[in-house]
Amino acid sequence: MNFKLIPPVKKLTDGELMLKIRKGQEKAFEELYRRYARRLQGFFYRMLGGDKELAADFTQEIFERIWKFRDKYTVGEQVSAWIFTMAYNVCRNEYRHREVADNYLWQMADEEEAGDSNIEVHLDEQAFDCALAKVLENLPPEPRMLFALRYEEELTLTEIAEIMHLPVGTVKSRNHYLIALIKQKLHQYETNR
């Protein structure tokens, strides 16, 4: 028998996937969907008040836009920034259409498991999460979006600047102000170190 070593399959970068998508390759589109659908749905869920159906609808809308406007993707552009720019714009449009404040509270566990030896720590974490959610809920859409992109989606300041159409320095200073504001509002949770 003659065995040939098969070279490992190279995982395509997001940019390489977009080049294939621009050529109409559906398999590449499916892979991009696999990489980003859950992140987008979570992003929309958090930004739009915990509405799962709306988050799913907007996620679908983003992928329809990606396919429809695939030729608008600029080669070399950060794919995550391109996608989250669309998501950011969808959220801004939704905020414009809403007259009432968002219901932005994270789901907390209703029941505590029996025998949890760290009940106080768990309750402190729940209280902190709830307090943070309330602080974020009361922020205007732009700072809330900045928080979600930076700390939940873990995008860089450069990527966020591109998404929000702002200079990096502006994003950096707004992020600094946002963190200072959150620390001020949640000062009772600071640990003595």
Tell me what pLDDT residue 190 has. 66
CB 104 within 8 A of CB 45: no
- What contacts 27, CB < 8 A, 6 or more positions away? 20
Output the CATH code of domain 14-189: 1.20.140
pLDDT level of residue 179 (50, 70, 90 thresholds): confident
Based on DSSP, count helices (H) and strands (E) in the chain, helices before strands: 8, 0
- SS3 of residue 66 by DSSP: helix
Tell me what pLDDT residue 114 has. 39
Tell me what pLDDT residue 145 has. 86
Tell me, what DSSP letter sits at residue 71?
Answer: G
Tell me what pLDDT residue 107 has. 34
21-74 confidence digits (pLDDT tens):
999 999 999 999 999 999 999 999 888 878 899 999 999 999 999 999 999 888
As a whole number, the mean pLDDT across the chain is 78
Q: What is the mean pLDDT of the segment spanning 131-156? A: 84
CB 112 within 8 A of CB 186: no
Using a pLDDT cut of 90, give the percent of the chain over it. 32
Pull the structure tokens for residue 175.
Answer: 């992020």
Query: Helices (DSSP H) in 23-78: which residue ranges?
Result: 26-47, 52-68
Tell me what pLDDT residue 113 has. 42
pLDDT level of residue 109 (50, 70, 90 thresholds): very low
Name the residue ranges covered by the structural domains of the chain.
14-189
Tell me what pLDDT residue 96 has. 64
Q: What are phi and psi of 110, to 5 degrees?
A: -80, -35
Pull the structure tokens for residue 75.
Answer: 């080669």
Q: What is the mean pLDDT of the segment spanning 91-110? A: 49
Tell me what pLDDT residue 4 has. 58
